Amino acid sequence: MYQFSYSEVQTDSVADARDRERQLLSRSIDLLSSAREKGPRSVQAAEAVHFLTRIWTVFIQDLGSAENELPGELRANLISIGLWLLREAEQVRQGNSDNFEGLIEVSQIIRDGIQ
């Protein structure tokens, strides 16, 4: 019987978590792309903004946690980016912006940077 070492299990858990984060960001990007095509007053826009808000609220909470092992400066930068995304998404929700492109581009950069 093969025994997993703690470090192997922990590495797999981190890799799995990163993969889930990439998947969530990819789903958000897909929703934002659909919303961009349908317009800021569409059902797709409401769904995209709601999804983005939910995932970034969780990401920001995790990044602010003392248990998060990312370097402090990186965590602070990601929190700042997340707050910008939340503010911009709120502007879209309120009808003051249609900046889906900015939301998509920043989300792609973050997704592609997850290793």
What is the rounded average pLDDT of the residues 42-53? 98
Q: Which residue has the higher pLDDT, 110 or 5?
A: 110
- pLDDT over threshold 50, residue 55: yes
Nearest one of 103, 82, 89 to 29, comparing CA atoms: 103
Q: Which residue has the higher pLDDT, 75 or 17?
A: 75
Query: Does pTM surpass 0.95?
Result: no
Name all domains of the chain by residue range, CATH numbers in brackets. Answer: 20-113 (1.20.120)
Percent of the chain with pLDDT over 70: 90
